[in-house]
Amino acid sequence: MSRVMSIRLVFRWQPGRGVLIRDPDVPLADADLLKHLSHLVLAHHPDTFYGTDVVLVTDMEEDRWGILLTPLQAVTFFAQLAPNRMVDWGWPDDLPVWRQAAQRMAAAVAEARLAPSLDGAKPGRPAWRLLSEDGADALGDLPDWVREWANEAVWELVVSDVDLARAWQGVLDAHPVLAEDPDGGLWLEEAQWHEAIGWRPDPCPFTPGLRLCEPVMGLAGVVGLDGFDGGAGSGDAADGAVGSDDAAGGAGAAGWRLEVVLRDKVQPDLVYGLWPDVARAEQSELETGPGSRAVGGTPEAGVALDPDLPPAPSDWAVHEERLRQAVERWLAAVPWLADPAGGWLPRGHLSESDAWRFLTEAIAPLRVAGCWVMVPAWWERAMRQRPRLRARVRPASGVHGMFGIDQTVQFDWRVALGGEEMDPAAFERLVAQKRRLIWFHGAWRVVDPVWAHRLLTTMKRRGEALTLADVLERALLGDDDAEGTEGDPAGGLGTGDARAERPESSGDGAVRERAEPGRDGAMAVDPGDAAIAEAPFEVALNEPLRALVGGLRDILQMPILPTPPGFRGELRAYQRIGFSWFVFLRRFGLGACLADDMGLGKTVQFIAYQLHVRSEGAALGPALIVCPTSVVGNWQKELERFAPGLRVYVHYGAGRAKDEAFAEACREADVVVTSYTLAHLDKDLLEGVVWDTVCLDEAQNIKNPHTKQAQAVRRLQARHRVALTGTPVENRLTELWALFAFLNPGYLGSERVFRSRFAAPIEKSGDAARTRVLQRLVRPFLLRRMKTDPEVAADLPEKAEAKVYVPLTKEQAALYEGVLQDMLARLEAVDGMERRGLVLATLTKLKQICNHPLAFLKADPAGPRGGRGRAGDGVGGRWVGGAGGTGDGTNGAVDGAGRRSIDGASVAAGSVLGGRVVRLRGRSEKLERLLEMVEEVRAAGERCLVFTQFVETGELLRRALEDALGEPVLFLHGGVRPGDRDRMVATFQDPASRAGVFLLSLRAGGVGLNLTAATHVFHFDRWWNPAVENQATDRAYRIGQHRHVQVHKFITLGTLEERIDQLIERKLALGEGIIGAGEQWITELSTDELRDLFALRRSWVTE
């Protein structure tokens, strides 16, 4: 058999990495050749999966690439070297060293011939020495780097084997000395260290240690405690605070005792003092030592504090030298514990400052030196219960009148030690006298000087006033935002980050709050305090604020009010809760957002709130309602219907009041209604009035806080602010910030801080902790009920109907007026059937104009404005711009949402039809309102039906809805084949289908269909035949429907739609007999009656 190739190898140990194998003849970085080399070199090495599981790295010394084996992989490779016989191997001269080292390592580990070594040991990770069969160093005759390789290989084995790793953790738990840094020169002999870590048996029967005993504070032993009263007005010295040195007789006294104790290794719960000979020697030293005194009794029982430990058995005395060696190590680790009078034992008495130093500095190095330490049983608890700041709200603060989110809350500082409070001045005196360990109200307390300085600095920075926003944030977050690592911005979800632009604050009857990262030095008292982080503090509320917080946390804790006088109708239970909630928050000047599901009556709840406020005489001026143009008329109608006693001024249209006329109209009104557009255009007028309440309807209109209308409404002066919306957040969390910037300015901080604190971590990484904090902050001011909530569902009717009133645009008004004048001019010249035909044709045209200008312009290509267009086929015909249309004749590509783009820009407000861009949006308030409502329905995961009489209008709506929703919209009309109709119904009824909107022509979809997937029914235009409309509605409201159905009927204000609706309402009984026959009755009206019925009221034409 001939060899196929020749390979020359070199090996290099790389500390912290492993063994590098390379062929000097391989090019600098030929990855493919290196992989082939690894397969050949490691062809018989299972630990590397035969060369497939290796790392290719560079030789740091020669800047060449090679194969890197881990230390453990290298041991098995060299110990079991089996080269590929098809290769002519050129081995290096040091190969015997590598093989011999690996074989010795493998044998020593397999036979457990190894021992921990101080040489190179690290905390929790001693170095390993491999032993030969006679106990000598197995690697002693090999190069030093071999020992390093062996040590890393052993540790790789320990951490990679689950059982070994678990066993080693058990060793660490049993012998904490291993976890300490041994590199301190304390262990002069490795054998002693082996005994200390339990590696070899220790013949000594005890483990030596140190015990710290506190002074005994008897009831008669505390005197002269001037200035350390436990609280204001306390005159009981025994309940005051005293430093331990006071009790011992003076600031220089040594009231703390330090004793050497011995713990039995067989029975570790047995602890002894020194055996008699050593104890007598120690006692002699103690009796002559400075500041000694008799000690009897202790404040707490337990072996750790028993001063009368029994002496150790006398036969332990033979191990005195071991004890002396141990003490020598301790004193080497903590030199200041040496007895100044000489002798080998540590000092027996400590001052308070020495005791503090022992507890905070000496214990760790003593543990490294192998000393176990007994401290008073209260020490750990006292360290956890360090002093806390408490801001106690003054009894009269915040109880008079409307409070406001930025209203100042006055409070008094107290320092809480355990469960007791101390006057800040007394605490400051303690700190000035450098007290660390004090006896206060019958218990020992710890005063960490660094922490105490933080408390004092915080009190000086804060003063004695907070804003209500600060108080509420701390109260609402409670412990959820209180715990965490101090100074850690990631864990610090507290108030400092959120409100860097306004004064800081606090929280509830006894609610803790975290230290606030990001505010360090923000309110420095002096240069020395500038870098000190602010300490956390809690707020103790007075009764009014406690009631407020209780109501915010649980809405059912607030008073539920009866239906107010003057309300015409009946409020459901959840609606009474809603308007009572408005009243409750108004008392404190807190803004409120009602975000109920569509159809639950947000408008009605606000009207009830206004009636209540005015019936109580609490209103100071008119309320202002700002809403989209499409619902201005709706508000007027709803106010007339439910609160006819309220005086309403609608600030709208070209003839709206200006200057003094506007001021006079406001003085005479209880409620003023205007639009978002006018909130900006007439901002000077609106800002000149101090409104009792400002209500934003469809408040998602200010989701972009940088728009002119959003800025305008934020500048309005109001005693109370309210928002109504079904979608408080549509796309981004900053929309929530924009809403609260109106409701409660500053509560969520600046936009920049809100983005970094909440929006970025929640939207990018789904931060659950930040989400929880944000929910707790906003939930009390945002009330959202769903139709599916049990308490709401039980109160809803099975079917509810509502009318949606919308105005005309200028374009629609011009078309409407032109068609009407054309009819009136021709009416006198015709009679009989021709007259009836003219009236019905005009009626159809006016209804189409009320829907959308394009609906009329398509149906009448030779319209009165002279804009000729091409008639369509009634289903998918070609459209032209007509009046108000725009286009450049270009076609575009369809994007992912179904929108068509031209030159890369999405035509979101129009449609490309027949090769032209036709603007759909902004030309019909009825269409705008339908899109808003349908978007809200779909955002809630519900489905809806939309009925229209006109196929052309249906096609227009389909295009607009698909563009707005980014989803397919079904359209059933008379031209759809039966098979396609069935597929449409099945698709709509399928919960998995994306098609959640079903458009239907009234004739084709009004009968014979079961569409119970829908919970909303929209009548875009009216048939004026209640029976036909009800029959269409029943496509959703029929057998098999288990949910509530809401019906929305659109009516255009100032047009024939409003007048005919009024006729039907006033003469319903007669209407069912006459009007119910259809629209033929209109053709029988006289010219004057037709003029009155069709007349356009221009006050409802949009600007």
Q: For 221-261, what is each residue's pLDDT tens digit? A: 332 233 333 333 333 333 445 444 444 333 334 589 999 99
948-983 burial, b for 16+ CB within 10 Å, e for fewer?
bbbbbbbbbbbbbbbbbbeebbbbbbeebeeeebee
- Could you tell me if residue 1067 is inside a domain? yes
In this structure, of 153-162, 496-505, 766-775, 985-994, the range with the lowest mean pLDDT score is 496-505
Confidence of residue 138 (pLDDT cuts 50, 70, 90): confident
- DSSP reduced 3-state for 1067: coil
Percent of the chain with pLDDT over 90: 26
The model's pLDDT over 602-652, given as tens digits with 9 standing for 90+, comes to: 999 999 999 999 998 877 889 999 999 888 988 999 999 999 999 999 998
Question: Same domain for 675 and 769?
Answer: yes
**CATH, residue 716:** 3.40.50.10810
pLDDT of residue 711: 93
pLDDT tens, residue by residue, 913-968: 444 556 788 899 999 999 999 999 998 899 999 999 899 999 999 999 999 999 99
- 390-420 in b/e burial notation, b at 16+ Cβ within 10 A? bbebeeebbeeeebbbbbbbbbebbbbbbeb
Which range, of 244-253, 354-363, 584-593, 711-720, averages the lowest pLDDT?
Answer: 244-253
pLDDT at residue 285, rounded to an integer: 45
Report the percent of the chain where pLDDT is more than 70.
Answer: 74
pLDDT at 1081: 72
Pairing of strands 256-264, 271-272: antiparallel
Alpha carbon dihedral 454, 460, 464, 467, in 10-degree steps, equals: -70
What is residue 30's predicted lDDT score, i.e. its pLDDT? 63
pLDDT band at 1012 (very low <50, low <70, confident <90, very high): confident
Neighbours of 1066 (CB within 10 A): 9
Residue 645 CB partners (closer than 8 Å, separation 6+): 566, 611
Q: What residues make up the domain containing 157?
A: 102-179
Lowest mean pLDDT among 396-405, 590-599, 886-895, 1030-1039: 886-895
40 confidence band (pLDDT: 50, 70, 90): confident
Please check whether residues 811 and 956 belong to one and the same domain. Answer: yes
Determine the Cα–Cα distance for residues 41 and 37; give it in Å rounded to an integer. 6
According to the model, what pLDDT value does residue 531 have? 54
772 and 670 within one domain: yes
Residue among 80, 174, 157 nearest 112 (CA) = 157
Where do we find the tokens 């707020």? 539
Query: What's the rounded mean pLDDT across residues 545-562?
Result: 82
Average pLDDT over residues 35-40: 77
Residue 195's pLDDT is 63
Please say whether the beta carbons of 522 and 778 come within 8 A.
no
**Assigned domain for 186 exists:** no
Is there a contact between 696 and 591 (Cβ–Cβ < 8 Å)? no
**Does the pTM of the predicted model rise above 0.85?**
no
Whether 739 and 879 map to the same domain: the answer is no
Mean pLDDT to the nearest integer, 460-472: 78
Assess if residue 49 is contained within a domain. yes
Give the pLDDT band (50/70/90) at residue 210.
very high
CB under 8 Å to 480, separation ≥6 — which residues? 772, 773, 776
Alpha-carbon distance of 95 to 920, in angstroms, equals 84
pLDDT-derived band of residue 984, with 50, 70 and 90 as boundaries?
A: very high
Pick from 73-77, 348-352, 1069-1073: least confident = 1069-1073
In 77-113 the beta strands, taken as DSSP E runs, fall at: 87-90
- 536, 389 Cβ separation under 8 angstroms: yes
Q: What's the confidence (pLDDT) of residue 1067?
A: 59
pLDDT for 288 beyond 70: no
- pLDDT of residue 293 exceeding 80, the answer is no
Q: Are residues 836 and 912 in the same domain?
A: yes
Asked, for residue 67, whether it belongs to a domain, the answer is yes
How confident is the model at residue 357, as a pLDDT?
92
- Which of 796, 825, 848 is at the close of a domain? 796
Residues in the chain: 1103
- CATH number where 1041 lies: 3.40.50.300
Three-class DSSP labels, 954-988: HHHHHHHHHHHHCCCCEEECCCCCHHHHHHHHHHH
Q: pLDDT grade, residue 847 (50/70/90)?
A: very high
Residue 278: pLDDT band (50, 70, 90) is low
Residue in 875, 879, 907, 873 with CA at minimum distance from that of residue 893:
907
Q: Measured in Å, how far apart are the chain's first and last C-alpha atoms?
A: 99
Q: Please tell me the predicted confidence (pLDDT) of residue 889.
A: 31
Is 97 within a domain? no
Tell me, yes or no, whether 238 lies in a domain. no
Distances from the Cα of 874 to the Cαs of 270, 870, 975, in angstroms?
101, 12, 9
Residue 623 is predicted with a pLDDT of 95
Query: Is residue 359 located within the same domain as residue 212?
Result: yes
Q: Are residues 546 and 578 in the same domain?
A: no
Q: Which of 356, 377, 398 is the last residue of a domain?
A: 377
- Between 569-573, 599-603, 1096-1100, the lowest mean confidence (pLDDT) is in 1096-1100
185 found inside a domain: no
pLDDT band, residue 507 (cuts 50/70/90): very low
* 792 and 806 belong to one structural domain: no
234 inside domain: no
Q: What are phi and psi of 321, to 5 degrees?
A: -60, -40
My answer on whether 389 and 373 are in the same domain is no
3-state secondary structure of 853: helix
Judge if 392 and 367 occupy the same domain: no
Same domain, residue pair 904 and 959: yes
Rounded mean pLDDT of the chain? Answer: 76
Number of domains in the chain: 6
Name 448's Cβ contacts closer than 8 Å, sequence gap at least 6: 386, 436
Of 750, 769, 796, which one is at a domain's C-terminal end? Answer: 796
Q: What is the pLDDT of residues 46-59, one digit of tens each?
A: 887 877 777 777 65
Tens-place pLDDT, residues 763-820: 888 888 889 899 888 888 999 998 878 888 777 777 788 899 999 999 999 999 999 9
Q: What is the mean pLDDT of residues 715-730?
A: 91
Same domain, 541 and 618: no
